Amino acid sequence: MRRKGWRLSARRVGLYAFLLISAAFFLLPLYVMLVTSFKDMSEVRLGDLLSLPAAPSVGAWVKAWTTACTGLTCNGIQVGFWNSMRILVPSVVVSIAVGSVTGYAMSLWRPRGATLLFGIVMSVAFVPYQVFLYPLVRLFSFAGLNSSLPGIITVHTIFGLPTMTLIFRNYFASVPIELFKAARVDGAGFWRIFTSVMLPMAVPIITVAVILQVTGIWNDFIFGLVFAGRENFPMTVQLNNIVNSTQGEREYNVDMAATMLTALVPLAVYFISGRWFVRGIAAGAVKG
């Protein structure tokens, strides 16, 4: 049987042209940021955004990390990086842990009022965050959590729960009910079934949850600005302070380097776990 030859049709040309234009549209800003970060200011002032650096240098990256000024403090963006890590790790762990348990309970155990409770939880996910800012500030001030690390971790955990509950509920609902019934017959209870049966099968959806939470929490600005406090400002707030600093010369190469440093963690997570994300979505993250 002769293999069908490859033909250059108008449809194929249009498809590839669209993909190339889309890729250029999204990659051009990244290219400009990268090449600018490796230039010195004398070359940046020439105004040729697309040209490669004549003498590439990592000086802007070093300065962005170590000595860039965020207001009156010149400790670089590294302070924001470690603050973001201190916020990110517990927020991701707690929100996924609680969301997986609530999603499991609502999918298989069906407690009384589970459908109503699930609807209430999901309705909160569609309310703009700005609506909750002032009530939360007042509540956290009363509780002594405002402008503190536990406060910002609590906020990220609370606002991550609706999405985490949704994806875990839909995933566990796609698991054959026979597995659950067999475990019940063998005498396993709520926690034994969850830890010994459900969690080992949930690695793909846990990966999806980690990617979603890491991206959302790391890129957050408004919660970090309002609830973290000056000593715990995350990397995004530190980046804003560096870019908007008006002291001395505006160093665009340092701004670009700081921006790239801020984006490295979400990019790394996507590149490392991208295929697991697709598997997790296909395995039940959008079913239900």
- Ordered by where they begin, the domains of the chain are 10-57 (no CATH), 78-285 (1.10.3720.10)
Sign of the Cα pseudo-torsion (103, 125, 276, 286, in order): positive
- Only one residue has tokens 């690390």, namely 149
Centroid of chain to Cα 63: 26
Tell me the one-letter amino acid at 40.
D
Per-residue pLDDT tens digits for 178-223? 888 888 888 878 888 888 888 888 888 888 898 889 999 999 999 9
CA distances from 97 to 130, 156, 180, 201 (A): 26, 13, 20, 15
Q: Is 288 helix (H, G, I), strand (E, B) or coil?
A: coil
What does the alpha-carbon distance between residue 141 and residue 149 come to, in Å, rounded to a whole number?
Answer: 13
pTM of the model: 0.82
Which phi-psi region, left, alpha or beta, contains residue 56 (left: φ > 0; alpha: ψ -120 to 50)?
beta
Please give the Cα distance from 137 to 117 (Å, whole number). Answer: 25
> Which residue, among 209, 186, 192, 167, has the nearest Cα to 109 in the 3D structure?
192
How confident is residue 246, by pLDDT bands cut at 50, 70 and 90?
Answer: low
Q: How far apart are CA 212 and CA 254, in angstroms?
A: 29
Distance CA 288, CA 117 (A): 16
Percent of the chain past pLDDT 90, that is, above it, reads 22
- At 115, the pLDDT band (50, 70, 90 cuts) reads confident
Beta-bridge partners for 70: 73
C-alpha to C-alpha distance for 3 and 12, rounded to whole angstroms: 19
Determine the pLDDT at residue 6.
56
Helices and strands in the chain: count of H runs, count of E runs:
14, 0
In the predicted model, what is the mean pLDDT of the chain?
84
